[in-house]
Amino acid sequence: MTSSTESPAESPAATPAESTTDSPSAADGRRASEVTREAARRRTFAVISHPDAGKSTLTEALALHAQVITEAGAVHGKAGRRSTVSDWMEMEKARGISITSAALQFAYGEHVINLVDTPGHSDFSEDTYRVLSAVDAAVMLIDAAKGLEPQTLKLFRVCKARGIPVITVINKWDRPGLDALTLLEEIENQIELQPTPLTWPVGIAGDFRGVLERRTGEYIAYTRTAGGATRAPEERMGADAAAAREGEAWTAAVEEAELLSSDGSDHDQELFLSGFTTPVLFASAISNFGVAALLETLVELAPSPPAFGWGEEDETGRHLQVREVAAPFSAFVFKVQAGMDTNHRDRVAFARVCSGVFERGMVATHAQTGRPFATKYAQALFGRERAVLDQAYPGDIIGLVNANALTVGDTIFLDEPVSFPPIATFAPEHFAVASSKDAGRFKQFRRGMEQLDSEGVVQVLRSDLRGNQMPVLAAVGPMQFEVAEARMESEFGAPIRLERLSYTQARRTDAASAPALEAIRGLEVLSRADGTLMVLAPDAWRISVVERDHPDLVLETLLAGGR
């Protein structure tokens, strides 16, 4: 990867307002206008997909088209594969999959793009869930040959529950795949969103020549570049020139586009923002075809940062508590990550700015403790690369370095108190006892366990019976254990041994019920770092039997909730 000479943090930065001698009220009004203006420039979104749909490749292509990198990081073909900007962990490079979310910020025209690449593998869906609490829109990537897949459906349902508008990209159109109309029908039937294509492919899947831009009727022809490493040239032409060049392929595309219009499948901005429709684009991220159209669509159609609402709703469904973007600064932490800088072994809290302007060095209030929180070490993020950040506005993602007091779901604010709801954790389904392979490195073992727990890589459960030397790791998917093993050895110098347990179910209980539950054969009660008592059981049948025989004991389902 070759970075542009401009720092990722410098290009989107806004010029601070000039000092004046206005009255305090006038100064406040000017600052509010500045914040509102800057928020309107922001587009903060996540890319979601099933594994291998091309999500990280698309992320790379977007950065390439925005001219913040000069060459795509993926050299296609197994022999010389390079990692993408957003895949920086050693396991990601080795396996070619995303296992942790990454934030990239860059300027595109007059706008600032905050793109959050998410893990595609279902074992890391909890990380993706947290990311979706921090974005205003989502790009749903679908493999043209496979259509909608289970992980895509699961993540879309999270978007729907959160009211996040979705833009759909049919990827890999340069390879053989399903018919375009069949894919649209699948989207409408399985996720109950009406597709409203903005572009329509000229040429069947596997013969991607370009797209018909439905709004203008123009043809955008693509020219391949070597390995898709550089931006694919585009040539625009009118209908007559397109017909002369593409013949029957153009005629078929025009007829199908007209059929879509007769069926009411034209874009309506209000319906899109309300979650009833999804604009659709056809692309080949690996060849950089259709990527510029996606950037333009995000800038034009995706919402800018809204006011954050929470708590109870009135009879119209509106939140009774709202933090407007021009209100004093507030932000919430949606991710904690250590090990990004191997030279310093630091810890970064990823925070989404919700309101006001962030200024490095400000002293905010940590809502969960009520204590002051200094922001001296703040950075802009571009994958693994970081640069000092002086200011940030609603929608921006900031990295707070060595903010050890912050955990996932925490809120920081200025002036007017606010505490956004915590981001709930998923119910784990896989469990293993961890122990240090080297008894002399217990201090490193304990520190590593605490770090992985605070990041949410795994949940670390303890009990008096097992002691601190043998905590139980709880995970949504088994690959989380592999990440924990690799990081404990590489980052903390404390190789671990894992012994898998036969439990598959976890429930929440209370202190009054815990002794009786612990006495039941096959159950085990452990505590989480936040004080939550969890009951582990081998299967759902055992849980149902206990609930039937002991209706007085507390056994609550662990649900994914959140903002």
Is the CB of residue 414 less than 8 Å from the CB of residue 329?
Answer: yes
Is the CB of residue 68 less than 8 Å from the CB of residue 87?
Answer: no
**Is 120 labelled a binding residue?**
yes
Q: Give helix 442-455 / helix 479-490 axis angle, nearest 10°.
A: 130
Q: What is the DSSP string of 443-502?
A: HHHHHHHHHHHHHTSSEEEB-TTT-TTSPEEEESSTHHHHHHHHHHHHTTS--EEEEE-S
Reading the block at residue 396, the tokens are: 């921006």
**Is 174 labelled a binding residue?**
no
d(CA 205, CA 459): 43
Is the CB of residue 162 less than 8 Å from the CB of residue 253?
Answer: no
**Is 118 labelled a binding residue?**
yes
- What are the Cα distances from residue 278, in Å, to 48, 267, 281, 370, 487? 14, 8, 10, 42, 39
Reading the block at residue 158, the tokens are: 């999270």
529 C-beta neighbours (distance < 10 Å), count: 14
For the stretch 139-160, what's the b/e string if a residue is b when 16 or more beta carbons lie within 10 angstroms of its beta carbon? Answer: bbbbbbbebbbebbeebbebbe
Is the CB of residue 488 less than 8 Å from the CB of residue 441?
Answer: no
Reading the block at residue 299, the tokens are: 């800038």
- Burial-class residue 234 by CB neighbours within 10 Å (0-12, 13-18, 19+): middle
**Is 551 labelled a binding residue?**
no
Is the CB of residue 161 less than 8 Å from the CB of residue 131?
Answer: no
Is the CB of residue 465 less than 8 Å from the CB of residue 425?
Answer: no
**Is 346 labelled a binding residue?**
no
Give the residue ranges of the annotated binding site. Answer: 117-121
Give the residue ranges of the annotated binding site for GTP. Answer: 117-121
